A and B are shown apart, each in its own frame.
Chain A
Amino acid sequence: MRKIFIYLYCISFFLFMPDVVQANQDALSQEVQELRALIMEMKDGYEARINEMQVKIENLSEQKFIEEEKAELEKELELLFNDKDDTSGTSPLASTESTVLPLNKAVTNQFDTSGTGSWSPSQAISLWSTGNSYMNISFNGLFTAAGSTANDLEMLETGGHDPIQRGFTAQNLEIAFDGAIDTYFRGFSNIVYQLDKAGETTVEVEETYLTTFSLPLNLQAKAGTFFTEFGRLNPTHPHTWNFVDQPLVNGRFFGADGLRNPGVRVSWLAPTDNYTELFFTVQNSQGETAASFRNNDGLFGRKAVGTRVRNTKDFLYVPRITTMFELTDTQTLLLGASAAYGPNSTGTDKDTLIYGLDMFWKWKSKYASYGFPFITWQTEVMGRRFEAGEDVDANLPSDVMHNWGAYSEVTWGFKKRWVGGLRGDYVDGLKDATDPSGVERLRISPNLTFYPSEFSKFRLQYNYDDIIGNDNTEQSVFLQFEFLMGSHGAHKF
């Protein structure tokens, strides 16, 4: 009997056991699920809280900055007012420090973390330097190999940085420095080395100037020695040009090195919706970098008379206006007008006026890759009114000379790294001129440029030179190469 119970028990055990286990398992998995849900909920909650905290921290730190600023201001004010009563406690040094510091503090504490301690990748980078240095340095080398039907290539080429002989020319070896000077100014300097035909190295200070960051009333000032803001090509450096040599008209009116001198420039950005900027430059008017003005060599066969600054009449005055239109989403047009007015050296009261119109148009694909493809068209037309003084020794009377010239160039970035270009050049003849530097000329220059990268280029150019005034034609071929090391300054549009 007992055995039967045992058997029954065993049977029932085996019969019901799975159900019990099952039931247990169900309860367990349900529990696990609940736990999971709970954890997920907690996770969500934590994430939301973390986000919230992040925002809070952000706000708090900003708040802290405001408070700091306030405290600083209070302190300053206190110092300012205490100064009157108590000079022993606060030295003038302390007070200047406290007025300068808040700004710097703001820079390092809050907005520019790259200034503090060692740098880490997650920190912000300031807009103005490529690293932890105060100054960017770059070196640019520009060389050309030339072949020409003319044996005196330097007579054909008007620029100081143009190829000057058959064979090789070191056109431009340029060191450029730039950086923020302090909170108020930005500095730029560019020193150029050249090798002349005799192999002698010469150094010239091309530009050195400061520019203000933020003057009131939308004004900006530039002071130092710099290229005059006249037209589009004159203010730029040879390595940014689209052709191996400079346009004839620039060479003739502005001289081999372009129009540049020590001086001051003020510009005003109009508060209109489209871009319009007015420039006004005052510079010295003497020297070889002001060729149409008080050049030491005189002009039109006359000797130089006066080249010293006597009063404000002896400066060079250069107004310029430029304005821009967005024609379509991909096309931009810039128009400009400039004038340069100053005395020339052929007499004590003789003046020169150069005036010019310029335009620049650019199309760039909506889907530009590496900046390609694009088409640009740039044209400048210039005229010159030159009052030539009387030169008794040379038997030349006083006279007024009118001359003009123009160039127009098209570049086509037809394929990544490849740019084709075509330029037409014209200058009229100067009175009594006999050599190519003064007679009427027409020049056509097609070229092709290959950019292995932004930092190097190779350029092949052909010049067909119709020297109309001499009834002569000359042809030249140039192969140019350029390299750039160091910081790469942003391109001007």
Chain B
Amino acid sequence: MISKFLTCIIFVFAVSWASAAYAKLNIVASTPDLGAVAKEIGEDKIKITNIARPTEDPHFVDARPSFMVKLNKADILIEGGLQLEIGWLPPLVMGARNNKILPGQPGYLTASTGINVLQVPQVVSRAMGDVHPYGNPHYMLDPLNAKIVASHICARLCLLDKENCKYYQDNLKDFIKRLDKKLTEWEKMLEPYQGTKIVTYHRTFPYFAQRFHLEVMGSLEPKPGISPSPSHINNLVPMMKSEGVKLIIIEDFRERKTPEFVASKTGAKVVVLPIMVGGRKETDDYISFVDYNVNQVVSALKNE
């Protein structure tokens, strides 16, 4: 009985080890936008698992133990790096017992390295709301940052899979070329609307706004992570009117009542954007994701 059990266990080990040895590189990305960029570089030479669902609030993701299993088998973990994941990633990595993906190992990649981080607070206090002490983590909404992340991923893939390095580099070049071409297109589309004043729900869109020269005048949340209060909205509405704010940009997962109320009071338009790849069915890769967002903003401004 016991020997049978042992043989069974040894068999399971052997099979899992053997399959691991010949499989593609296993990559776990904390959020789907990082996963999508990795996909551009690795294509069919890698297998990607994203932890956060593309539609949900990435600050509050459940640390479901099934991801321990995924991380256990991962060759690379790609983390955003500005504490977006602090509430859910650490226990998963701890439970994964995988030396390859621990900080300091080649299999642990911080995607935000080299990114020009916005909104880094001078003083950190929770009285200011749920401020990220290292700055705003929603940098993937700027397509130029995706280039930086893509080159990190390419370098790391090359390090861990030297044989296919050329393949990854070619994919990187191709991705950057396609992205650059689209970027000029996007910039041209939004050029007539330079300096348009907007308000966002949460501080999710500063990188997007900066890239396309939109001016963020405020947010519906009085402070990051604190839901809209009547007194704050009371101050926000006259400001939006006097400044001539045209758009209220919100994420897909936000309630609609407050933004619509503010819109009705100020004449601004509500634009709902997915903030991660896969958030809408039209956004199944990174470029189509940015494309969708730019088009939503442009069409809202066009019909002004």
> Could you say which of A1-9, A22-30, A268-276 contacts chain B?
A268-276
B84-137 with Cβ < 8 A to chain A: 86-91, 93-99, 102-106, 108, 110, 112-117, 120, 126, 129-130, 133-135
Instruction: Give the complex CA separation of A130 and B57 in angstroms.
Output: 21
Segment among B150-158, B185-193, B262-270 that sits at the interface with chain A: B150-158
Contact partners of A218 in chain B: CB under 8 A = 72, 97
**Chain A proximity of B25: nearest CB distance (Å):** 15
Name A183's closest neighbour in chain B (CB-CB).
B104
Q: Are A332 and B115 in contact (CB under 8 A)?
A: no
Which listed residue (A106, A130, A220) contacts B104, Cβ 8 A? Answer: A106
| CB atoms of A269 and B64 under 8 A apart | no
> B225: shortest Cβ distance to chain A, in Å?
7
Q: Chain A residues near B226 (CB, 8 Å)?
A: 453
Contact B227 A417 (CB under 8 A): yes
Q: Interface stretch among B206-214, B233-241, B252-260, B296-304?
A: B252-260
Q: Could you tell me if A215 and B97 are in contact, using CB atoms closer than 8 angstroms?
A: yes
B59 at the interface (CB under 8 A from A): yes
Query: Does A488 reach chain B (CB closer than 8 Å)?
Result: yes
**Which chain A residues numbered 121 to 146 have a C-beta less than 8 Å away from chain B?**
121-128, 130-131
CB distance from B138 to the nearest CB of A (A): 14
Task: Pick out which of these stretches binds chain B: A52-60, A191-199, A227-235, A466-474.
Answer: A52-60
Task: Report B-chain residues with C-beta under 8 Å of the C-beta of A310.
Answer: none
Is the C-beta of A219 less than 8 angstroms from some C-beta in chain B?
A: yes
Whether a CB of chain B sits under 8 angstroms from the CB of A45 is no
CB neighbours of B114 from chain A (8 A): 122
Q: Counting CB contacts under 8 A, is B75 at the interface?
A: no
Partner of B159, one of A62, A103, A322: A62
Provide the bound-state CA to CA distance between A370 and B147, in Å.
29
Q: Are A493 and B120 in contact (CB under 8 A)?
A: no
Q: Is B172 an interface residue, CB under 8 A from the partner? A: yes
| Docked-complex contact B69 and A273, CB < 8 angstroms | yes
Knowing A127-B79, A367-B55 touch, does A122 contact B116 (C-beta < 8 A)? yes
Q: How far is the CB of B94 from chain A (nearest CB, A)?
A: 7
- Cβ of B46 within 8 Å of any chain A Cβ, yes or no, is no
On whether the beta carbons of B97 and A125 are closer than 8 Å, the reply is no
- Bound CA span A229–B103, Å: 27
Whose C-beta in chain B lies nearest to the C-beta of A488?
A: B87
The answer for the CA separation of A146 and B155 in the assembled complex, in Å, is: 60
Let me know if A294 is at the binding interface, CB within 8 A: no
Q: Which of A92-100, A107-115, A390-398 contacts B (4 or more CB under 8 A)?
A: A107-115
The secondary-structure label for the interface of chain B is loop
**A370–B13 CA distance with the chains assembled, in angstroms:** 40
Complex: chain A residue closest to B15, CB-CB: A271
**Chain A positions 430-488 with a Cβ under 8 Å from a chain B Cβ:** 453-455, 485, 488
B102 — which chain A residues lie within 8 A by C-beta? 213-214
Confirm or deny: A369 has a beta carbon within 8 angstroms of a beta carbon on chain B.
yes
Report if A82 contacts B (CB, 8 A). Answer: no
User: B115: nearest residue on chain A (CB-CB)?
Assistant: A122
Q: Evaluate contact between A58 and B151: CB separation under 8 angstroms.
A: yes
B62, closest chain A residue (CB): A493
Considering only CB atoms and an 8 Å cut-off, how many residues of chain A contact the other chain? Answer: 72
Taken together as a complex, chains A and B put the C-alpha atoms of A220 and B129 apart, in Å, by 36
Q: Is the CB of B62 within 8 A of A362?
A: yes
- A219 with B97: in contact, given A130-B86, A453-B226, A488-B87 (CB under 8 Å)? yes
**Shortest CB–CB separation between residue A279 and chain B, in angstroms?**
12
Given that A128-B90, A324-B65, A332-B64 are contacting pairs, would A416 and B113 also be in contact in the complex, using a CB cutoff of 8 Å?
Answer: no
Cα A275 to Cα B16 with chains together (Å): 15
CB <8 Å contact, A271 and B12: yes
Contact B104 A103 (CB under 8 A): yes
Does B97 contact A58, Cβ atoms closer than 8 Å? no
A277: chain B residues at CB < 8 Å are 65, 68, 95
A402 at the interface (CB under 8 A from B): no
Contacts of A366 in B (CB 8 A): 53, 55-56
B53, A127: Cβ atoms closer than 8 Å = no
Among residues 254 to 298 in chain A, which have CB atoms less than 8 Å away from a CB atom of chain B? 269-275, 277
A371 and B57 contacting across the interface, CB-CB below 8 Å: yes
In the assembled complex, A349 has its CB within 8 A of some CB on chain B: no
Interface residue A186 (Cβ < 8 Å from any Cβ of B): yes
Using CB atoms, name the residue of chain B closest to A368: B56
CA A441 to CA B110, docked complex, whole Å: 53
A369 x B253 contact (CB < 8 A): yes
Contact: B130 with A453, CB < 8 Å? Answer: yes
B255, A369: Cβ atoms under 8 Å? yes
Query: Could you tell me if B154 and A58 are in contact, using CB atoms closer than 8 angstroms?
Result: yes
User: CB distance B227 to A370 under 8 Å?
Assistant: yes
Least Cβ–Cβ distance between B18 and chain A, in angstroms: 11
Most chain A Cβ neighbours within 10 Å, of B89, B180, B253: B253
Could you give, for residues 342-384 of chain A, a 1 whenever the CB lies within 8 Å of some chain B CB and a 0 otherwise? 0000000000000000000010111111110000000000000
Q: Does A33 contact B (CB under 8 A)?
A: no
Q: Which of A197-215 contact B (CB under 8 A)?
A: 211-215
* A326 to B, closest residue via Cβ: B66
Q: Is B63 an interface residue (CB 8 A)?
A: yes
Residue A236 is within 8 A (CB to CB) of chain B in the complex: no
- Complex interface: chain B residues within 8 A of A492 (CB): 63, 91
Q: Is there an interface contact between B155 and A59, defined as CB atoms closer than 8 Å?
A: yes
User: In the bound complex, how far is the Cα of B135 from the Cα of A52, in angstroms?
Assistant: 28
Closest-CB distance, B71 to chain A (whole angstroms): 10
CA distance in complex: A455, B87 (Å):
12
- For the complex of A and B, the 9 pairs showing the least CB-CB separation, nearest first, are A371-B60, A124-B110, A107-B104, A214-B99, A271-B16, A58-B155, A367-B253, A121-B117, A121-B120
Question: A residues engaging B (CB < 8 A)?
Answer: 47, 51-52, 54-55, 58-59, 61-62, 65-66, 103, 106-107, 111-113, 121-128, 130-131, 183, 186, 211-215, 217-220, 269-275, 277, 322, 324, 326, 329, 332, 334, 362, 364-371, 416-417, 453-455, 485, 488, 490-493
Q: Hey, which bits of chain B sit against chain A, CB under 8 A? A: 12-13, 16, 53, 55-57, 59-60, 62-66, 68-69, 72-73, 79, 81-83, 86-91, 93-99, 102-106, 108, 110, 112-117, 120, 126, 129-130, 133-135, 147, 151-152, 154-156, 158-159, 169, 172-173, 176, 180, 225-227, 251-255
Kindly list 8 other residue pairs between chains A and B, CB separation below 8 angstroms, not including A103-B104, A122-B113, A277-B65.
A55-B155, A62-B158, A270-B12, A326-B64, A366-B56, A370-B57, A490-B91, A491-B91
